[in-house]
Chains A and B, each alone.
Chain A
Amino acid sequence: MKIIQLSVFLENTAGRLREVTGILSRAGINIRALSLAETADFGILRLIVSDAKKALEVLRTANFTVRETPILAVEVPDQPGGLHGLLEALAEAGMNIEYVYGFVEKRSDNAIIVIRVEEPDRAIAVLQAKGFTVLGNREIGTL
C-alpha cells in the first residue's frame, strides 16, 4: 500500500517553510510527518498530510511547485535495531533507498518509517514477506 507524499520546492527554505505551514494550518490540514532536504540554494520539503488532495490544491493556488510522490510507510518496533532490520531486509533484496525519515505514532509503541524506493510495489512484497506491516492511508490517518 502506497501513501502519497507531497514534495514542495522551496527557494528560500526558512521563510517559505513558514508560509507552507501557515497555508496548511488555515486550510485545516494536519501535518503527519515532514522532512526537509536542503542545499545551499534550495530545499525540498516532503510532507505527509491528513488530506493530500486538498493540500495539493491550496499549495498550487499559492504558486508553490508541488508534486505527488508515492512512498511507503512501514511500522517498526520503537526500540534499538528497529530501523536497522527494515534496511537490512531491503538491502538483501538489492533495493536502493532514495531517502528515509521517521516519526513515532502516539497510539502505539511503534515508530513509522517513511521510505522512498524506486520500485515501491516490489518493496511492499519484500517487506510483507519479512513480516513488516506496511501501512495504508487509513492507518496513518491520511484519508
Chain B
Amino acid sequence: MYWNQQEECMPVELLRQRQLARLQKTVARVYERVPFYRQRMDAVGVKPADIRSLDDLRLLPFTTKNDMREGYPFGLFAVPLDEVVRIHSSSGTTGKPVVAGYTRADVALWANVMARTFVCGEVTSRDILQVAYGYGLFTGGLGAHYGAELIGATVIPMSGGNNKRQIMLMQDFGTTALACTPSYALALAEEASAMGVNARELKLRVGFFGAEPWPEDMRKAIEQRLNLKAIDIYGLTEIIGPGVGSECMEQNGLHLFEDHFFPEIINPDTGEVLPDGERGELVFTCLTKEAFPLLRFRTRDITRLIPGNCPCGRTFRRMEKVSDRTDDMLIIRGVNVFPSQIETVLLTIEEAEPHFQIIVKREGPLDELEVLFEVDERHFSDEVKVLQAIEQKVAREIESAIGLRATVRLVEPKTIERSMGKRKRVIDLRKEQKP
C-alpha cells in the first residue's frame, strides 16, 4: 500500500535524476537568497554551477546546530516573512531554540510526507487516528494532524496529556491508530491498566512512534501491551518535523523520503562521506523546501543506510533505527566506540542481559574500557568457571566487534540504574580525572 506509488517506487535512476535537478535548483536559490550560505560557499570557492552531480554535494559546507543559533531567529530563511505561513520551534539542547518557517507549499509538502508515513502503516480513510503528540510550537502534533487529514482518516486531535481521557476516547470512538512518543504510549498502557481497561482489547491496530530514541525492547513492550504494530518514524524540526522517514510494515529500517530530503552518512570526525552500509553521522539536504532549506545539516544522529531493496517495493533507501548520537561517541585509545555496538554484542549472547554500562577511565597513560552487565537468573551458575566463561565470551565478542579489549564484569541485577528509554549507559571518568 502506497500513498503515491509513482513517487515512492520510482526507479532509482529516475529518482537520482530528480534529486539532482532539485538539488541544483535549491543550491542556486539558497546562494542567491541566504547571505549565510553565500558567505560559506564563497569561503570555500564553490558556486552553484559547480554542482553537476549528486557526488558534488560534498563540495558544499556543512550546516550545524551552532549555525542555527547564530542565525536565530530568521537568519537562514530563504523567503521574506510574508511568504511564511507557519513557524514551529524546538528547544535547542543548548542556548537558543531552533526556529523553522514554512511557506504554504512547505506545509503541503509536510502533509504529503506525513501521509506517506501513515500509509507506510496502512492507514486509510477508514481509520480513526488519535494524535497524542503535543500540538503547538512542537512539530509533532500539527505535522501528524495534516498528514492524517490529507489521507482522509478521522483525526482526534488530543495532543499530549490527559491520560484518562485519552483512554476513554480510545474506547468510545474506537481509535485504530495512535501517534505519540514511545514513552507516552507506555504511559497510556499504564493508565489503561490503572483504570481496569484491558489495553489489548482496544481497537488499536498501528502506532507511529518517534521524537525520541527507543530501543527494540521498548518496541516489544509497546506492541505487547497495546496489541498493535509499532512503527518507528523519524524527523527533526530543522528538516521539516516528523515525515523525514518511516518504517514500512516490514519494520526493518526506516525509508527516508529522499526525493525531498537527501541523506548522506559521514565520518563525524573528518566529514568524509561514507559509502552506503557504513555507520556514521546522518546528514540531510533539503531538496524542495522553500522557507527553510538547509544544506548538509548534521543531525548528530548515528546510523547507517541499509543496502539492498525492501520487499515493500519502495525504492527510497532505508536507514537503521537511530540508536546513538555523536554526543554519545566515545574515543577510546583512538578508536570510535558507540554504546549501541556493545549493546548489539550483548543482544547476540544468550547468557548476557542487555542491561549494561560502559565505564571509561584512564589508568596511567592508557584508556581503560570496562563493561558491566547484569547476571541473569536463568544463566546464573553455582560454579565460578561457568560465570567466568560467560565473561570471557562477552569480552571476546566485544573485542571482535570494536577492536578493543574490554574488562568485562558481571554485576548484580538492578545495579545498573534504568528507566524507560533513557539509561545512563556510559560513565566517562576521564572527564573527572585530571591528567
Q: Which residues of A contact B409 (CB under 8 A)?
A: 41-42
Task: Give the A-B contact count at a CB cut-off of 8 A.
Answer: 52
Alpha-carbon separation in the docked complex, A41 to B409 (Å): 7
Alpha-carbon separation in the docked complex, A10 to B415 (Å): 12
Q: Which residues of B contact A46 (CB under 8 A)?
A: 382
CB pair B384–A44 under 8 Å, yes or no, is yes
Contact of B415 among A5, A11, A39, A116 (CB under 8 A): A11
Q: Chain A's nearest CB lies how many Å from the CB of B372?
A: 9
CB pair A63–B410 under 8 Å, yes or no, is no
Q: A11-B411, A41-B409 are in contact. Are A65 and B384 (CB under 8 A)?
A: no
Contact of A44 among B377, B382, B411 (CB under 8 A): B382
Q: Chain A's nearest CB lies how many Å from the CB of B417?
A: 13
Q: Chain A's nearest CB lies how many Å from the CB of B177?
A: 39
* Interface 0/1 of B246-283, CB less than 8 Å to A: 00000000000000000000000000000000000000
Q: A9-B375, A63-B413, A65-B413 are in contact. Are A98 and B380 (CB under 8 A)?
A: no
Q: Which residues of A contact B412 (CB under 8 A)?
A: 9-11, 16, 63-65
Interface residues of B in 375-392 (CB under 8 A from A): 375-377, 380-384, 387-388
Q: Chain B's nearest CB lies how many Å from the CB of A90?
A: 17
B165 within 8 A of A: no
CB pair B383–A99 under 8 Å, yes or no, is yes
Q: Counting chain B CB atoms within 10 Å of each CB, which of A46, A65, A67 scores highest?
A: A65
A69 within 8 A of B: yes
A37 within 8 A of B: yes
Interface residues of B in 391-435 (CB under 8 A from A): 409-415
Alpha-carbon separation in the docked complex, A69 to B381 (Å): 9
Alpha-carbon separation in the docked complex, A128 to B394 (Å): 42
Q: Chain A's nearest CB lies how many Å from the CB of B387?
A: 7
Q: A42-B387, A44-B387 are in contact. Are A67 and B411 (CB under 8 A)?
A: no
Contact of A67 among B382, B384, B415 (CB under 8 A): B382
* Interface 0/1 of A62-82, CB less than 8 Å to B: 011111010000000000000
Interface residues of A in 1-31 (CB under 8 A from B): 5, 7, 9-11, 16
User: How large, as a class, is the contact surface on chain A?
Assistant: 20 to 34
Alpha-carbon separation in the docked complex, A4 to B173 (Å): 56
Nearest B residue (CB) for A39: B384
Q: Which residues of B contact A37 (CB under 8 A)?
A: 383-384
CB pair A42–B377 under 8 Å, yes or no, is no
Q: Which residues of A contact B387 (CB under 8 A)?
A: 39, 42, 44
Nearest B residue (CB) for A38: B384
Q: A9-B412, A11-B412, A11-B415 are in contact. Are A65 and B380 (CB under 8 A)?
A: yes
Q: Chain B's nearest CB lies how many Å from the CB of A97?
A: 11
Contact of B410 among A16, A41, A69 (CB under 8 A): A41
Alpha-carbon separation in the docked complex, A11 to B388 (Å): 13
Q: Which residues of A contact B388 (CB under 8 A)?
A: 39
Q: Which residues of A contact B382 (CB under 8 A)?
A: 5, 7, 44, 46, 67, 69, 116
Q: Which residues of A contact B411 (CB under 8 A)?
A: 11, 42
Q: Which residues of B contact A38 (CB under 8 A)?
A: 384
Alpha-carbon separation in the docked complex, A69 to B383 (Å): 10
CB pair A67–B383 under 8 Å, yes or no, is no
Alpha-carbon separation in the docked complex, A37 to B384 (Å): 7
* Interface 0/1 of B344-378, CB less than 8 Å to A: 00000000000000000000000000000001110
Q: Chain A's nearest CB lies how many Å from the CB of B424?
A: 18
Q: Counting chain A CB atoms within 10 Å of each CB, which of B383, B387, B412, B415 scores highest?
A: B412
Q: Chain B's nearest CB lies how many Å from the CB of A20?
A: 12
CB pair B384–A7 under 8 Å, yes or no, is no
Alpha-carbon separation in the docked complex, A99 to B384 (Å): 10
Nearest B residue (CB) for A41: B409
Chain A residues near B (Cβ < 8 Å): 5, 7, 9-11, 16, 37-39, 41-42, 44, 46, 63-67, 69, 98-99, 116
Can you offer 8 A-B residue contacts whose CB atoms are under 8 A? A5-B382, A7-B381, A11-B411, A16-B412, A44-B381, A65-B375, A65-B376, A65-B377
Question: Told that A9-B412, A11-B411, A44-B387 touch, could you supply 17 new A-B pairs with CB distance under 8 A?
Answer: A5-B382, A7-B380, A7-B381, A9-B410, A38-B384, A41-B410, A42-B411, A44-B381, A46-B382, A63-B412, A63-B414, A65-B375, A65-B413, A67-B377, A67-B380, A67-B382, A98-B383
